[in-house]
Amino acid sequence: MMQNAESAAFSDLEKLVRRLTEELASFRKRALQAESTLKAYEASAKGDAPTPERARALQTENQDLRHRLEVADSRAKQMLDRVRFLRQQHEEAAS
């Protein structure tokens, strides 16, 4: 009888271990799928949100472009003033 009880307990334990192994495999599969999905989201989000280093580089580039635009605007105004001056000189000389 003792051996029967031990055999039954061992059989129950074996079934329990088998179920737990299957459940663990299921959890592992779900975890791997979740990690894969997360990596896909992170990869797609990288194009949308720049890294802090890239954001600083973009800010620096933006400042440089604004400065260049200010310089170009100033030069354009100087050239326009020169053209107006030359036009005035030409009109005065023609009169």
pLDDT digits 0-9 by tens, 55-86: 899 999 999 999 999 999 999 999 999 999 99
| Res 38 pLDDT > 80 | yes
Based on its alpha-carbon atoms, the radius of gyration of the chain, rounded to whole angstroms, reads 39
Question: Rounded to an integer, what distance in angstroms lies between the CA atom of residue 21 and that of residue 15?
Answer: 10
| Count of structural domains within the chain | 2
* Residue 69, domain extent: 50-95
Looking at the structure, do residues 45 and 56 belong to the same domain, yes or no?
A: no
At 75 the pLDDT is 95
At 48 the pLDDT is 65
Looking at the structure, do residues 36 and 75 belong to the same domain, yes or no?
A: no
Looking at the structure, do residues 55 and 85 belong to the same domain, yes or no?
A: yes
| Res 47 pLDDT > 70 | no
Looking at the structure, do residues 34 and 44 belong to the same domain, yes or no?
A: yes
Helix-then-strand count for the chain, H and E: 2, 0
Looking at the structure, do residues 40 and 82 belong to the same domain, yes or no?
A: no
Q: Please, what is the average pLDDT of the chain?
A: 89
Looking at the structure, do residues 32 and 76 belong to the same domain, yes or no?
A: no
The predicted model scores a pTM of 0.46
Question: Rounded to an integer, what distance in angstroms lies between the CA atom of residue 46 and that of residue 52?
Answer: 12
Looking at the structure, do residues 63 and 94 belong to the same domain, yes or no?
A: yes
Looking at the structure, do residues 68 and 38 belong to the same domain, yes or no?
A: no
